[in-house]
Amino acid sequence: MTMEEEADLAEVMELTPEMKAAVGKPGEPTLYEVTSLGIRTFARAVGYKNPVYFDDDAAKAKGFPAIQAPPGYLGMPVWNPNKTTARQASFESPFKRNLNGGTAVEPLERVFAGDVLEAVTTLTSLEIVPSAAFGQMMIRVSETVYTRKSDRKVVAKTRGTGLSY
């Protein structure tokens, strides 16, 4: 590494007040619909064979109200083209390129076709770090809590890392 590259790495930008204020602040809720079509499509795509993910009668024979969503499937966001999305960032990022750095899913309750989930995402940490490849990177860590609307039970939590450079 040249001296000039080392100097660039040493001058990591600071988080703005807006960035710091976003940490720990929950976003607006987003609704997710869990449909039988979505469940079957997801289960088929990842290679699940359990009939409770495909067959209403098999699910009911196990005592379930409808087909069960496989682990990791939490429905699709309800999108309205006439409404602004609630998932917009609360600050302007100085970086233009974004990567998913990984997502962990913690299932807490079973989810079924017909469920409507409310998801609230909170940015839990944010930092700008030196990067040998890109000069500097921003690392965002967030947690999303999914609550079933019908009984207010938290059914899952996801933790995700986003990388921007």
Q: What is the pTM of this model?
A: 0.86
Output the six-digit token pair for 25.
């602040």
Q: Pick the more confident residue, 85 or 57.
A: 57
Q: What is the pLDDT of residues 106-118, one digit of tens each?
A: 999 999 999 999 9
Taking residues 74-98, report their average pLDDT. Answer: 82
Residue 86 resides in a domain: no
Taking residues 130-148, report their average pLDDT. Answer: 94
Output the six-digit token pair for 2.
């040249």
If one counts the domains in the chain, the total is: 2
Give the whole-angstrom CA distance, residue 73 versus residue 39: 7
Residue 9 has pLDDT above 60, yes or no: no
User: Do residues 21 and 95 both lie within one domain?
Assistant: yes
Give the whole-angstrom CA distance, residue 88 versus residue 99: 16
Give me the CATH number covering residue 119.
Answer: 3.10.129
Q: What is the pLDDT of residues 79-88, one digit of tens each?
A: 888 876 655 6
Residue 85 resides in a domain: no
User: Do residues 64 and 107 both lie within one domain?
Assistant: no
Which domain covers residue 163, as residue numbers? Answer: 1-31+75-80+91-165
Lowest mean pLDDT among 1-15, 21-35, 55-69, 119-133: 1-15
Residue 128 resides in a domain: yes
Give the whole-angstrom CA distance, residue 41 versus residue 163: 29
Sheet holding 116-131, edge to edge: 76-77, 30-33, 116-131, 135-148, 154-164, 98-107
Q: What is the pLDDT of residue 12?
A: 66
Q: What is the pLDDT of residues 14-32, one digit of tens each?
A: 999 999 999 999 999 999 9
Q: What is the pLDDT of residue 5?
A: 47
User: Do residues 109 and 59 both lie within one domain?
Assistant: no
